[in-house]
Structure 1
C-alpha cells in the first residue's frame, strides 16, 4: 500500500472517529430526554402515602413522599451553578441518617451568591428532626468533567459541580452509595433550611431541548462524513486529470 493510500485511510478513520463521537453525544442527549420524560410522567405521591426512607429504598425507583426522623451528620455540600429567578446561587445539601440506618443527602434549599462568588457562611443543621419531603432524583449531572468536589474556606463545607453520591460519601466518610442518585427534597413548608420548592426539573433543560441538541449532534456527525466524502471525491478527480 502506498503512502498516499495510507494517508487516505487515515483521514477516513479520523472522520469516522469524530462522527462516532458526535453520535455518542447525540445518543446521550436522547437518553437525557427519555429520562426526563419518564420523570415528568410520574405523578408525585400524596402525603397520605408517606413511607420511611428504608421503605422507599425497597420500592421501585419512582417518586415517593417520605416521612421519617433523621439525625443530621457533619459536612455540607454546596451544589454550584444553580439558578433561581434569574439569580446565580448554590443548593445546600447535608447528610443525615434515618433511624432505620440509611444515610441520605438532604436538600436544604437554595442560597444566592454575590458577584464575587463569596460562599455564604453556613450554620449546619444538628440533632434529630422529624422531616418530610420528596424522595426524588438528584439534579442532573450533565457531562462529568473534572473533580466532583472542592474544599471551601469554611471547614467541612464543600463546593460541588455535580451530585456524585459515591464521591461525596467518600469525602465525608459516609456510605452515600445510593445507585440511583436520589436525595431527600425537603417539604418547603418545613421551617429549617432555605428557599426551596419541589419542581421535578429545577434549573435544567426540558426534554424538547435535549431532543434539539441530539438532532444537532447527529447533524454534525452526518456533516463530517459528507465533507470527508466530498474531499475524497475531489482528490480522486484531481488524480484522474494527471
Structure 2
C-alpha cells in the first residue's frame, strides 16, 4: 500500500469515528456540570420527554379553552333566560340568537312519527327524550318539541307504549328554546321507516329530519314546560355547564407535565464518580 493511501485512510477514520469526527458529535450526549454533579441526558430520553410534555401541555390548554367556552355559554344562558318570552308566531326567527330564550307558540301537532332520542341520561339512569313535530299557526314553519325524558326498560325500550304517547291536544306550546344536542361520534346511521309510529334515533340532525319528513324546521328545539307533560321529566341543561371541572382537568395535565420534567431532570443528574 502506498504511504499516501494510508494517510488518506487514517484521515477519513478520524473524520468519521475519531474524537473530532462528525459521528462523535452526533452520538456524544451533551453534558452540563453543576458543581459536583453532571447533567447528561440521552438523546432518546430527551426527545421522548419533549414530545410527552408538549402533548400534556396542549391537553391542558385545550381544557382551559373548553372552560372559557363554558363560561361564555353560562353568560349567554343567564342573559337570554332573563329576557321576555319570544312569540314564535311573530315571523321567521331563523338566524336570530334565541338559544335559552323562553318562548311560546300557537299551532298544532303534525300527524308524524314520534321521535325518541336514545341513550339520554337522567340522574344516572338511561332513557329517551320524546320529541314531536309542531306546526306553527298560519305558517309552513315547524318546530321540534322536546316533551322531556322517559326512562328505558331492561330491554332498552321506552317505559311507555306508543298508544300512550299523548299530545294532550294542545294548540299552544311554551318552554325554553335550546340548541340541538351536539354529537361527538356519530355512531350508527339515521333511518326512517314511513309506516312506523315511532322513530328512534341515536342523535338529532335537523337537516336530515326536515328532508325525510318534508318540513321546514326551526333551528332550535323547544324544551316544553313540565306542567304540560306531567309524566315526563324536563331538564334545563345547566348542570353540565361547569367550567371548574375543565380547569381541574387542565391542572391535572399541567401537573403531569411538570412531574415528567422533574423525573427527566432527576434521572439524568448524576455524580461523575457514581458511575
Give the alignment's TM-score, normalised by structure 2. 0.63
Counterpart-to-counterpart distance in 2, 1:139 and 1:5: 50
Structure 2 contact 177–223 (Cα < 8 Å) conserved: yes
Counterpart-to-counterpart distance in 2, 1:90 and 1:152: 18
1:61 aligned onto 2:98: yes
Which of the numbers 119, 132, 141 marks the counterpart of 2:173? 132
- Cα offset, 1:137, TM superposition: 1.0
Pairs aligned (count): 227
- Cα offset, 1:91, TM superposition: 1.6
2:87 matched residue in structure 1: 50
- Cα offset, 1:11, TM superposition: 2.8
| 1:111 aligned counterpart, secondary structure | strand
Matches within 5 A, 1:30-179: 30-41=68-79, 42-43=81-82, 45-46=84-85, 50-52=87-89, 54-57=91-94, 59-62=96-99, 63-72=101-110, 74-79=112-117, 80-83=119-122, 88-98=126-136, 99-119=138-158, 120-123=160-163, 130-138=171-179, 141=182, 144-147=184-187, 155=196, 156-160=198-202, 162-166=203-207, 168-169=209-210, 176=217, 178=219
Cα 1:105–1:148 change in 2 (3 A) is farther
Structure 1 contact 109–193 (Cα < 8 Å) conserved: no
Which of the numbers 245, 262, 269 marks the counterpart of 1:213? 245
Structure 1 contact 23–217 (Cα < 8 Å) conserved: no
- Cα offset, 1:148, TM superposition: 7.1
1:155-204 superposed Cα distances (whole Å, 9 cap, x missing partner): 342143x54434555676655572xxx212334444x785354x633xx5
Structure 1 contact 25–214 (Cα < 8 Å) conserved: yes
Q: Which runs of 5+ in 2 are unaligned?
A: 1-25, 30-41
- Cα offset, 1:16, TM superposition: 1.0
1:106-150 superposed Cα distances (whole Å, 9 cap, x missing partner): 112332223443234324679x96232135114754x71342766
Larger radius of gyration: 2
Structure 2 contact 109–132 (Cα < 8 Å) conserved: no
Structure 2 contact 146–222 (Cα < 8 Å) conserved: yes
